[in-house]
């Protein structure tokens, strides 16, 4: 069976009080826990974090459930989710600055 056939990508924009509250670190730890690759970064508006992740769809769905809640100090107001094809471009999950 082709393992990449079971994999997809995900782009999530998380809006709210999600910068300066360890949200990127929280996301990176959860992504590593689920064996995902990709990145998380703050956007310049000061209230949005972008998450791009690739891996098993079930693991990505678990990540989404954590992103809806966020780190303990975060206050997530809204998230937008876009699914895509798996690219295999990322070897790890990183925080981008």
Q: Is 31 helix (H, G, I), strand (E, B) or coil?
A: helix
Catalytic residue among 17, 42, 47, 68: 42
Per the confidence metrics, is the pTM higher than 0.85?
yes
Active site residue 29: no
Rounded to whole angstroms, the Cα distance separating 92 from 94 reads 6
Active site residue 24: yes
Rounded to whole angstroms, the Cα distance separating 52 from 90 reads 10
Residues 11-59 pLDDT 10s: 999 999 999 999 999 999 999 999 999 999 999 999 999 999 999 999 9
Q: Does domain 3-86 have CATH number 3.30.70.100?
A: yes
Residues 34-47 pLDDT 10s: 999 999 999 999 99
Rounded to whole angstroms, the Cα distance separating 39 from 26 reads 12
Burial of 65 (0-12, 13-18, 19+ CB in 10 A): exposed
Catalytic residue among 3, 17, 24, 47: 24
Per-domain boundaries in the chain = 3-86
Rounded to whole angstroms, the Cα distance separating 3 from 12 reads 23
């Amino acid at each position: 069976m082709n393992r990449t056939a079971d994999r997809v990508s995900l782009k999530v924009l998380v809006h709210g009080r999600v910068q300066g509250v360890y949200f990127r670190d929280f996301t990176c730890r959860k992504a590593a826990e689920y064996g995902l690759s990709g990145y998380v970064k703050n956007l310049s508006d000061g209230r949005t974090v972008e998450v791009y992740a690739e891996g098993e769809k079930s693991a990505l769905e678990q990540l989404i459930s954590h992103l809806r809640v966020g780190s303990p100090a975060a206050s997530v107001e809204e998230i937008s989710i876009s699914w895509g094809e798996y690219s295999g471009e990322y070897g790890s999950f990183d925080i981008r600055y």
